[in-house]
Chains A and B, each alone.
Chain A
């Protein structure tokens, strides 16, 4: 089955939680959101992404002092699954 809806809900929850903890650097949340936007649809609906998200969310809720560690982790995972841009090269 697809975890798309559940992952979207978890990601929104993670963003909301982190935005309160990263007020000193307001550029962080839009950056994370853009990484999410650029990730492949297949990955965003995967069980793997759900596991990463679930883990990051639980951790950030229990250890707020490590918020950037978890954001960085999620960014790295999303970057690794960035959709490949199709180069429209015409000769």
Chain B
């Protein structure tokens, strides 16, 4: 029979990377609005 696969983890999503991405995108947004 079929074996259910339960792997939905985001393996490549590094927490440090997520924070850096958020900071960077916020800075870009702030820069765009100040220009």
- Interface residues in B1-35 by Cβ distance below 8 A to A read 12-14, 16-18, 20-21, 23-25, 27-28, 31
A28 contacts which of B13, B14, B24 (Cβ < 8 Å)? B24
Q: Are B27 and A69 neighbours in the complex by a CB distance under 8 Å?
A: no
A27 contacts which of B12, B14, B23, B28 (Cβ < 8 Å)? B28
Q: Residues of A within 8 Å of B, CB-based: how many?
A: 13
- SS of A interface (majority): helix
A27 to chain B minimum Cβ distance, whole angstroms, is 5
Contact segment of A8-16, A45-53, A60-68, A81-89:
A60-68
A65 contacts which of B17, B27, B31 (Cβ < 8 Å)? B17
